Amino acid sequence: MSKRKTISHGERFHFFRDDDDKAAVFIEIEDIKECSFELWQMPNDKQMSRALVKIPVEFWKKMVEDWVNRPIGENDDKKVATFD
C-alpha cells in the first residue's frame, strides 16, 4: 500500500504528503523545462545545497487550491498514472 497521500495532481505534476514524513510535502514534475541543482562545500566541511524548479503558475495555483480545499486524506492511496 502506498504511503503517498495525493494533495493535487495534473498531467505533468504530483503534489503529495508521505506518511513517513508528516512535516513535509513533496512534488514530482515531469518534462521539466528549467531546473538546477547545486551542491557546494563550505568552510568547516559544511555542505550546502539548493534546488530551483520552474513551476508553471497554473500548476502552482491548482496545487495550492487543492491543498486548501480538500480534506486531509481525501485522496489517500490514489495512484497517479504518470508517477510511481
Q: What is the pLDDT of residues 67-82, one digit of tens each?
A: 888 766 555 555 555 4
Average predicted confidence (pLDDT) for the chain: 77
Most confident of 15-24, 32-41, 71-80: 15-24
Higher pLDDT, 16 or 39: 16
Dihedral, CA of residue 15, residue 63, residue 51 and residue 24, to nearest 10: -60
Domain boundaries, the chain: 4-69
H or E segment to which residue 44 belongs: none
**What pLDDT, on the 0 to 100 scale, is given for residue 22?**
81
State the cell numbers at 3. Answer: 504511503
Cα angle vertex 67, ends 24, 32, to 5°? Answer: 70
